[in-house]
Every structure is written in C-alpha cells, then in structure tokens.
Amino acid sequence: MTRDDLLDALWEIADLDGERPEVDLIREVGDDAWLAVHVECLTQAGFPPTSNDDQAVRWDTPAEQSDAFALAEFTCAAQYPRLMAYQQPYSAEQLALMYDWMVEETIPCLAGEGYEVTDVISLEAFRASYAPESGFWTPDAGVPGGVPLAIQGRCPHMPPQEVLYGE
C-alpha cells in the first residue's frame, strides 16, 4: 500500500463529497502512540473525546458537525498515519504468528478470565478467511455475548509488534 492508496482509503471512509484534499504527512506513528496522537490532533481540531465506562475513547459529535468531524478525522489520520510497514497486508508467516498467538496466549487468557472460546478455526481457515479490507477471525468471535474491551486489553489478539514484524 502506498501513501496515496492510504489517503484514498481514508477519504472513502470519511464519506465526504468533493475532491480529496492534499494533506502533508507530519510523521508516521507506531501503534503504541497512535491513539494518544490521534486524540491530541482531534482535540486541537476542536473535537475533544469523551470516554465511556470501558475506558474506550469515543467522540460524541452533533449531527450538524458530522462533516467537520469527518474532515478532521481524515486530516489527523493523514497527518499521523500508522507506520506504513503496519499498513501492508499480512504475510502468510505473520498470519501463522498471529494464529499461534491467539491459540497459545489469547484463548488461555480469556479462559482465565472466565470466557470460553468455542468454534476455534484451523490455521488454514484463518489464513483463507483473512482479507486486508475486512480483517481476520479473532477468539472473541467465538464467545457468546462477546468480550468486554477491558478483558480484550488484558488478553490481546495480536502478538507484540517486535514479534509480528521482527523488530
């Protein structure tokens, strides 16, 4: 994926009319800092976040400001995108690492928190179902009623970046 591909995808997600504006890259951001940078950028654009009980960040935007918020969100994501290395489709090796992590780490962690994961798919099915546009299977998909965000934070689906990207 190139930067132009990323900007086109972000503009499509923004769902705004007109031609996509040119936005200068300020810097790429690692996953560990991305949320804080995104929150700061949107706050400076006039859209401070609100938090819910799950400690998740969200923005409650009045309908009359929805286009302005979408433009600010596009601009912030374009100025401070995730590292381009993280924007590429996952390789077969990375998918295997992710699957092994979920089976060996996430599922036992969820069990320790009292959540039984049912219908665990095979590695072959996991790889076959992956699409860069729509993502991949995760263990909480097999938990009736889902898994709260706080538990997802304690039992992450993804291995650390240094494992996944060999950093």
- Whole-angstrom distance, CA of residue 76 vs CA of residue 16: 15
Output the pLDDT for position 33.
Answer: 86
The last residue of a domain, from among 87, 116, 137 = 87
Q: Are residues 104 and 72 in the same domain?
A: no
The last residue of a domain, from among 47, 62, 87 = 87
Give the global pTM. Answer: 0.63
Q: Are residues 81 and 8 in the same domain?
A: yes
Output the pLDDT for position 147.
Answer: 85
> Domain tally for the chain?
2
Q: Are residues 74 and 125 in the same domain?
A: no
Output the pLDDT for position 44.
Answer: 97
Q: Are residues 146 and 111 in the same domain?
A: yes
Output the pLDDT for position 167.
Answer: 65
- Output the six-digit token pair for 47: 């859209």
Please state at what angle helix 66-79 crosses helix 3-14, rounded to 10 degrees: 170
Output the pLDDT for position 53.
Answer: 46
Output the pLDDT for position 106.
Answer: 95
Q: Are residues 79 and 128 in the same domain?
A: no
The last residue of a domain, from among 66, 87, 108 = 87
Output the pLDDT for position 113.
Answer: 94
Output the pLDDT for position 99.
Answer: 96
- Which residue type sits at 105? E
Output the pLDDT for position 55.
Answer: 54
Q: Are residues 49 and 11 in the same domain?
A: yes
Per-residue pLDDT of the chain (167 residues; tens, 9 = 90+): 788 988 988 898 899 999 999 999 999 998 778 888 999 999 999 999 876 545 567 788 899 999 999 999 999 999 999 888 887 888 999 999 999 999 999 999 999 999 988 889 999 999 998 987 778 899 988 788 788 878 888 999 889 888 888 76
Q: Give kind and range of the element (H or E) at residue 124.
A: helix 123-129
Q: Are residues 75 and 21 in the same domain?
A: yes
- Whole-angstrom distance, CA of residue 121 vs CA of residue 98: 13
Output the pLDDT for position 30.
Answer: 85
Output the pLDDT for position 16.
Answer: 92
Q: Are residues 59 and 7 in the same domain?
A: yes
Domain that holds residue 41: 3-87
Q: Are residues 79 and 116 in the same domain?
A: no
